[in-house]
Amino acid sequence: MAETKPQSAPSTDAHEKMGFWRQYIFSVDHKVIGKQYLFLGLFMGYVGVFLSYVFRWQLAWPGTAVPIWGKVTAPQYYELVTMHGTIMVFFVAMPVLLGAFGNFLIPLMVGARDMAFPRLNMASFWTILVGSVLLLISFFVPGGASHAGWTNYVPLSDASKYLPGNYWGGNLWLIALAIDFASVLMGGINFLTTAIAMRAPGMTIWRMPLFVWQELVASVLFMLSVGPLIAGVVMLLFDRMVGTGFFLPEKGADPLLWQHLFWFFGHPEVYVVAMPGLGIVQEILPVFARKSIFGYRMIVWAVIVAGILSFTVWAHHMFVSGMNPVLAEPFSATTIAISIPFAVMLFAMIATLWRGQITFSTPMLFALGALANFLLGGVTGIPLGTNASDIYLHDTYFVIAHFHNTLVPTAVIAGFGGIYYWFPKMFGRMMNETLGKLHFVFTWVGFNMVFVPLFLIGLGGGQRRIYMSSVYTFYKPLQPLHVIATIGLLVIIVGQIPFLLNFFLSMFRGAKAPANPWHANTLEWATDSPPPHENFHTIPTVVRGPYEYSVPGMEQDWAPQAAAVDAGAAQG
């Protein structure tokens, strides 16, 4: 923490030769760490998809043997849904959007040579790796991984009498989560410090790309909301391992306290994931529409307002929990209010497309797909945030369809768009467009095949977290919709084959990428692909905002933020 190098040392091309381990494994370079996060996130993502494949098969054809897995037992079913949610939110969305893109892009976009605290950055990656390994180990401990649902409600998750045999699974779940939070905390400190204190000359805050803004607000949200949940996790660990009783009614405690602590974090967490995803979309849209983003400052203010409001909405998850019903009214009001800044952002993004010269390249397709589905996710949030309709819809598949339509467009669809868009910068090679488009069609069509039917199931009263739906007569008419949804998931899975081929083959065989293949303005395109050690040959001086495309009277239809192209960067 206390190390500061003398200021006279930043000789630009001082490549000290490093061994393989220092350069690629225990690296303090934000670019390498970003890629490490990306690989971890992708791996955990496909683990999460596999889990969903098993329980989705069980939902469509209850009681039949799942190929590769076999028959699903009831405890296995709850283990699968719990771990799917936990992995996807905490070990995929956060590592990919904050860890991978945030790490790789923030220093490049603000014109810094690295993160503010490189060793803390490395520690952040290795911490989350330990957390991921512990979480995966929990599948193999006696009793299996946690069965308590990804929200881990007490008292079900609290005393072993409620979930007998799930002792170590539940403990490891809590420990892995605490480690994951510590990791993201370290990342957040770096993101904020870097963007506040290490910007290139001329990079005023109103010239920062929207992706940086979104990452910053997301980091602030995370850092200010995670404390109470860390407290809750520690209390729950004490309850389970020491026998305290922080959440047990028989010891005089209030079990709703856990829900408050969880959702005080859990709701801002939704935006921690959504904002960087929207940031990626906001970077891609202007480039492939060759138009300035519509309402740059308005978007920034909308993000800030949404960030502030996000701390006032958490109890809308608890309308049926038995909390004081008087509280439901103000929380409904704030929840409806928070859709306003997001609507502002969405309209600004749509207006960016208006009269643009749109190229339907793979990143753009993913960005547009994300935009469309995020709209659907946002609109369906209103009936859930309003207590009158939520009482009917609560704990149905409508809720599941809603939050998948907010998280998947931002974390997965926009995330894939980000991979296609920044792959040339990350690996110095281009990805294949045909395979990319194939990947998009399968992923996006498959995604909607899964989740549009789930909205209908939820409206029809289909409850979530039911292991054997075939035993309920009310579920009979809804069952075909589950079959469509599961076929949709299989479509998504097939669609990952072109992606994985494309990703790994392009990394080694793809066409060499120029410095600025998309003719984009932001600073990461002003340096080599991939960027050299310490990012820039000379730190660029920023002379304009990030989205000046098709400015009348200019020779080319883009105007880079940097005053001059970096001396060593190949012309693109």
Measured from the CB atom, the residue of 113 and 267 that comes closer to other proteins is 113
388 burial level (CB within 10 Å; 0-12, 13-18, 19+): exposed
For CA atoms 563, 564, 566, 569, give the dihedral sign.
Answer: positive
Residue 242, interface with other proteins (CB under 8 A)?
yes
Q: Give the number of residues in contact with other proteins, rule: CB under 8 A.
A: 64
Instruction: Give Dmax over CA atoms of the chain in angstroms.
Output: 76
Residue 426, interface with other proteins (CB under 8 A)?
no
Token pair listed for 488: 């949709």
Please tell me the distance from the alpha carbon of residue 512 to that of residue 118, in angstroms, as a whole number.
Answer: 29
DSSP labels, 372-392: HHHHHHHHTHHHHHSHHHHHH
Binding positions for other proteins, 500-559, rule CB under 8 A: 539, 541-543
Q: Which stretch binds other proteins (CB under 8 A): 2-10, 34-42, 48-56, 150-158?
A: 2-10
Measured from the CB atom, the residue of 227 and 460 that comes closer to other proteins is 227
Find out whether 439 and 416 touch, Cβ atoms under 8 Å. yes
Measured from the CB atom, the residue of 121 and 486 that comes closer to other proteins is 121
In this chain, which of 231, 483, 551, 567 binds other proteins, going by CB under 8 A?
A: 231
Residue 264, interface with other proteins (CB under 8 A)?
yes
Measured from the CB atom, the residue of 187 and 381 that comes closer to other proteins is 187
Q: How far is CA 331 from the centre of its chain?
A: 25
Measured from the CB atom, the residue of 8 and 473 that comes closer to other proteins is 8
Find out whether 108 and 160 touch, Cβ atoms under 8 Å. no
Q: How far is the CB of 255 from other proteins (least distance, A)?
A: 11
Residue 106, interface with other proteins (CB under 8 A)?
no
Helices (H), 380-432: 381-385, 387-393, 397-407, 414-427
Residue 116, interface with other proteins (CB under 8 A)?
yes
Residue 243, interface with other proteins (CB under 8 A)?
yes
- SS3 call for 111: coil
Residue 388, interface with other proteins (CB under 8 A)?
no
240 half-sphere exposure, CB direction, 13 A CA radius: 28
Residue 244, interface with other proteins (CB under 8 A)?
yes
Please tell me the distance from the alpha carbon of residue 316 to that of residue 384, in angstroms, as a whole number.
Answer: 8
Token pair listed for 442: 């399968």
Q: How far is the CB of 135 from other proteins (least distance, A)?
A: 22
Find out whether 173 and 86 touch, Cβ atoms under 8 Å. yes
**Does residue 155 have a cis bond before it (omega within 30 degrees)?**
yes
Q: How far is the CB of 504 from other proteins (least distance, A)?
A: 35
Residue 155, interface with other proteins (CB under 8 A)?
no
Q: How far is CA 304 from the centre of its chain?
A: 18
In this chain, which of 113, 147, 316, 482 binds other proteins, going by CB under 8 A?
A: 113
Q: How far is the CB of 3 from other proteins (least distance, A)?
A: 7
Binding positions for other proteins, 188-227, rule CB under 8 A: 188-190, 192-194, 196-205, 220, 223-227
Instruction: Measure the N-to-C terminal CA separation of the chain; round to a whole number of Å.
Output: 40
Measured from the CB atom, the residue of 69 and 167 that comes closer to other proteins is 167
Interacting residue ranges for other proteins, rule: CB under 8 A: 1-7, 9-10, 111-113, 116-117, 120, 185, 188-190, 192-194, 196-205, 220, 223-232, 234-235, 238, 242-246, 251-254, 257, 260-261, 264, 539, 541-543, 563
